[in-house]
Structure 1
Amino acid sequence: MDSRRAWWVWGSGIFAYLVAITQRTSFGVAGLQATERFDATAAALSTFTVVQLVVYAGLQIPVGLMVDKYGPRMMVAGGALLMLAGQTALAFASSVPEGLIGRILVGAGDAMTFVSVLRLLPSWFSAKRIPLLTQLTGQLGQIGQLISVIPFVAILNLAGWTPAFLSVAAMSALAFVLALAVVRNEPAQLKKPLPPTLRQTGASLADAWREPGTRLGLWTHFTVQFPANVFMLMWGYPFLVSAQGLSPSAASALMTVAVLTSFVAGPLLGGWVGRHPLRRSTMVLLIIGTMSAAWLCVLLYPGPAPFWLLLLLVMAVSVGGPGSMIGFDFARTFNPLSRAGTATGIVNVGGFISALLVMFGMGIVLDALLASGFSQGELYALDSFKLAFSLQFVFLIGGTLAILTVRKRVRTRMSHGGVIVPPLRDALARERRRQRERIRERRGSGGSRRG
């Protein structure tokens, strides 16, 4: 545990996930060019990302089962190979059907990566490190977004569509080589368990779903992650440039701020979860409230929002990425290692189902408003985008109600096991008393040294 080899294995897995994020987000920042290349409507354009996410979400549970059965090494390598094929196909696509084939392959390869990398952690690291490493896995992977919004966009603008997508396809080739050369399922000295039988696999899936902690993780991921996905993967860039009137460089800068905010928030949330495991759902609800308030301010602002308000919106939404990782911590702590991949796959379905529903729904709303004349002939009009983004609140409210319902069941089961979650008011009062005691102790020890 925690050996030098463990860090090399984890680092190679991180690179594979970084590459997956690059492949996932590259199409979103190429949305305007894709509209021209494929002569696509807003609904058709959203189909590219929606189909990719349908494949991603649909494969999460099968991938989780396969990770538990065959190990993460094979899954990471296979995912990189599929993404290489998908981005290469998209690089040469000239029609919507050809492009969709590429995105299906990318979605399948992407689906195999994240769950597999998380599955490496319990085998290579001690339990005390895992909450922070889980957050770091998610946040370091977001460097892929920076690659999409800076070098990829630069290549896209300077060299064109095909060279840009071939350049990110080459990254998948490198991830494939590293997975085979460096990644191992577990340390050599550990006894490898026998692969589960088909009946055991089915029982593992049923047990993982019956566990209320798994469903709490699912609804956490469902509610917290989709605003960031919708903004970063599909509609954020057109909203900032075409509706809000920002320059492409200013929009790219805000996208970069989103990634940097995730980098800062991830370790902070990971450390907080490690110190306050009984308050994870409270933090989830606070993040949901913050994102909702930021969107309300932007959508209700008359006319284009000022840059500072858009900056606050991007920062609030980007916290949803690391915030959704708390869902995986629920899956880890409420399930045994033997079904960790399966439970993680169930949780990972949530945010991508909500994201694809919101993305596609927004495309339908934008097209309907254009056809009705509301947009006055401009597909990405500001008022049209405001109505389309309002669709998010249906999922934010519904997800919050589901979290509160399942959390009650989780806490009931915990109480039967002797673990009582005190009211938040009492917990905060106890924490204030501890802080005052620590201050008095430091003052007392300082006085003793002076004496």
Structure 2
Amino acid sequence: MTEASPQQRGALLVWFVGLLIYLLAVFHRSSLAVAGLAATERFDITAAQLSTFTMLQLLVYTAMQIPVGLILDRFGSRRVMLTGLVTLTAAQTLFAVADTYAIALIARVIVGIGDAMIFVCLLRLVNTWFVPRRIPFFTQMTGVLGQLGAIIAAVPMTLALRELGWTKAYLLAAAIGIVLLIALLIFIRDSPVERSASGPAMSLTTIRRSLAESWEHPGTRLGLWTHFTTQFSATTLGLLWGYPFFVRGENLSSGQAGALLTILVVAVMAAGPALAWFITRHPWHRSTLVLAIVSAIVVMWTIVLAWRGDAPFWLLVLLMVAVGVGGPASMIGFDFGRSFNPEHRMGAAIGIINQGGFFASLVLVIAIGIILDWRTPGSSTAYTPEAFRWAMSFQYVLWGIGLVQIWRYRVQVRATIMRDEPEAYGRTRELG
């Protein structure tokens, strides 16, 4: 076995520290999921007010993607990630001591701002530190292992809330950020040759040009619609509506619903390496793989929603596996962005692409709530299976839009490559 070079070891260390920071960001993002009941008691709020935390956090995260991408191109990953980590730590500290709903809401908004800065920086570091043939693997592993943050937020945070209480539990979570802040300052560098790399100063004209050039290439748009179409089903189920759908819509026990959501996370983590291997070996067929995965998700949802009565548990397991694969499939969108954008506008491209899936998830989260209220008037707790079938069927609107756009920009990307880069076209086709 060939010993890793110093640069390879450095790349792994930078990625590992960055991954720990991303895990913490996902932990902070997900920590409220196990504190819902405690939050309703502490702030004396309704279920609707509680759901506002999630929707507002998603909205802020999505809205921040393009600004963060531009800032990343200007100031580099190290400084932007540092800012994001400090912001997250301050936000969780504020959330720990908040005693009113208004202050808590402000804290969650700040969590969304800090969270938005972490993932795009880590992807930029992966693109900078690793050789091209290893980038798809580490991009996928970043997304897959990041899901551990949600798992870590479940059991340990539940225990901390029970044993330590609200303030101490969230202060302890915030303190982890201080430790990782030190690790970031010591180990993370923007590139093998620079600790902190800066891009050119950005005027309004430069910003417009950077965004326009990124958006103009059909590869960026293919990445955006890939992210949009593959991610929203898994995100919506895992973040808010999965548990109510299984319990109210499919009449499962709380234990069965929890098991299905666990299967969803396992499917996300298991599929990542396999997808990374495929897109590395067969780059020409990345969009074909995306279309196949989305089609499988649509088919499984169609079978479940069309099933007379409650769907059998084994069928719901298959649904969770199919939906779970969509999570790492969304990362293929970033591989499109990497392939068709130069280094100096990589942040803008990643920001454009990353907002796709979260925007779709936000639309779906809101739409499901509106449709449930429409189909079950006068009740916020007794949603019926029929109401859930109507609500979950809204996904077909998003799938329809996304699939049309993926096909459209897949055709444009292939035509662009064949016209402008015939040699690259030949090499890509030879790889598969």
| Same fold (TM > 0.5) | yes
Amino acid at match of 1:270: A
Name the structure 2 match of 1:382: 385
Deviations 1:200-246 (A, max 9, x none): 34322211011110011001111111111111111113333454444
Aligned AA for 1:413? Answer: T
Please give the root-mean-square deviation of Cα atoms over the aligned residues, in Å: 2.8
Partner of residue 3, structure 2: none
Distance (Å, rounded) in 2 between the aligned partners of 1:40 and 1:399: 36
Is this contact kept in 2: 1:358–1:392, CA < 8 A? Answer: yes
1:363-442 equivalent positions in 2, closer than 5 A: 363-370=369-376, 372-373=377-378, 378-417=381-420, 418=422
Aligned partner of 1:301: which letter? W
Aligned position for 1:299: 305
Q: Is residue 2:75 matched to residue 1:70?
A: yes
Check if 1:323 corresponds to 2:326.
no
Q: Distance in 2 between matches of 1:252 and 1:154?
A: 17
The structure-2 alpha-carbon separation of the partners of 1:257 and 1:150, relative to structure 1 and needing over 3 Å to count, comes to: farther
Q: Which amino acid aligns with 2:349?
A: A
Alpha carbons 1:28, 1:232 under 8 Å: kept: no
> Which consecutive aligned stretches of 4+ in structure 1 deviate over 6 angstroms post-superposition?
419-422
Q: What's the secondary structure of 1:385's corresponding residue?
A: helix
2:243 to 237, 242, 252: 237
Q: Deviations over 1:394-418 (max 9, x none)?
A: 1111111111122222122122132
2:211 and 2:226 map into 1 onto residues whose CA distance is 19
Compare 169-178 and 259-268 and name the one that shifted more.
169-178
The answer (yes or no) to whether the contact 1:68–1:339 under 8 Å persists in 2 is yes
SS of residue in 1 equivalent to 2:311: coil
Gaps of 5+ in 1: 432-451
What are structure 2's unaligned runs of at least 5 residues?
1-5
> What is the match of residue 63 of structure 2?
58
Query: What is the percent sequence identity of the aligned residues?
Result: 45
Deviation at 1:83, TM superposition (A): 1.7
Q: Deviations over 1:336-361 (max 9, x none)?
A: 11111110111001011111111122
Q: 1:174 to 1:363 in 2, by over 3 A?
A: farther
1:304 is paired with a residue whose SS is coil
Q: Does structure 2 retain, via aligned residues, the 8 Å contact 1:217–1:347?
A: yes
Matches of 2:386 and 2:209, distance apart in 1: 50
Task: Quote the residue 1:358 is aligned against.
Answer: 364
1:436 match: none
Instruction: Please say if 1:180 is aligned against 2:188.
Output: no
User: Match for 1:97 among 91, 96, 102?
Assistant: 102
Distance 1:101 1:406, change over 3 A: same
* Aligned mate of 2:12, from 4, 7, 21: 7
Q: Contact 1:42–1:367 (CA<8 Å) still a contact in 2?
A: no
1-structure distance, mates of 2:423, 2:392:
41
Q: Tell me: CA distance 1:157–1:254, structure 2 relative to 1, closer, same or farther (3 Å).
A: farther
Taking structure 1 as reference, are residues 136 and 286 closer, same or farther at Cα in structure 2, changes over 3 Å only? same
Partners of 1:384 and 1:92 in 2: CA distance: 39
Alignment of 1:72-91 (within 5 A): 72-91=77-96
Q: Is the 8 A contact 1:131 1:274 kept in 2?
A: yes
Q: Which residue of 2 aligns with 1:207?
A: 213
Letter in 1 for 2:389: K
Deviations 1:357-394 (A, max 9, x none): 11122222233344x25x6x734443333322222121
Counterpart Cα distance in 2 of 1:219 and 1:93 = 38
Report the Cα offset of residue 248 of structure 1. 4.0
> Mean alpha-carbon deviation: is it higher for 3-12 or for 344-353?
3-12
* Alpha-carbon distance in structure 1 between the residues aligned to 2:351 and 2:283: 21
Which residue of the partner structure matches residue 106 of structure 1?
Answer: 111
Residues 17-56 of structure 1: matches in 2 within 5 Å? 17-31=22-36, 34=39, 38=43, 40=45, 43-56=48-61
Distance 1:402 1:381 in 2: 34
Alpha carbons 1:61, 1:346 under 8 Å: kept:
yes
Distance (whole Å) between structure 2 residues aligned to residue 413 and residue 140 of structure 1: 34
- The count of aligned residue pairs is 423
User: Is the contact made by 1:42 and 1:364 (CA closer than 8 Å) also made in structure 2?
Assistant: no
Q: 2-side partners of 1:243 and 1:228: how far apart?
A: 17
Q: Distance in 2 between matches of 1:189 and 1:158?
A: 45
Q: Is the 8 A contact 1:245 1:304 kept in 2?
A: yes
CA–CA distance in structure 2, aligned partners of residues 2 and 295 of structure 1: 46
1:257 aligns with 263
Q: Distance in 2 between matches of 1:191 and 1:173?
A: 20
Q: Which moved more, 1:360-369 or 1:336-345?
A: 360-369
Shift of the alpha carbon at 1:307? 2.3
5 Å-filtered alignment, 1:104-253, equals 104-156=109-161, 161-188=166-193, 195-198=200-203, 199-253=205-259
Paired amino acid for 2:188 = V
How far did 1:166 drift?
Answer: 3.7
Q: Which has the larger radius of gyration?
A: 1
